[in-house]
Amino acid sequence: MNSKQRKTLEAIFLRPTLSTIVFSDIERLLLACGALLTEREGSRIKFSTDTQEWHAHRPHPGKEAKKYQVEGVREFLERIGVRP
């Protein structure tokens, strides 16, 4: 995990939840944590590990993740044992 991914991880775990995190940074972080990315229909994507899954829609037209997406990825990271 590089320094930008560490900053993204720290931003995900901040309270109150931020809505300024770029979604592609979240994708890169999850890939660095060992999750597999599966492209779905349209803007849908799925990240999976051996035991956990997280489904999301890539935001459009904006590039920032919504608060509920940041909270969802925070829960996914906690389930797979990743914390800042």
Which among 77, 65, 71, 76 is positioned nearest to 25, based on CA atoms?
A: 65
Grade residue 27 by pLDDT with cuts at 50, 70 and 90: very high
All domains of the chain in start order, with CATH: 3-79 (3.30.920)
pLDDT at 8 over 90: yes
The whole-number average pLDDT for the span 5-21 is 95
The whole-number average pLDDT for the span 60-64 is 93
**Residues 8 and 21 sit within 8 Å (Cβ to Cβ):** yes
Q: CA angle 72-44-12, nearest 5°?
A: 25
CA dihedral 21, 44, 73, 9 (to 10 degrees): -40
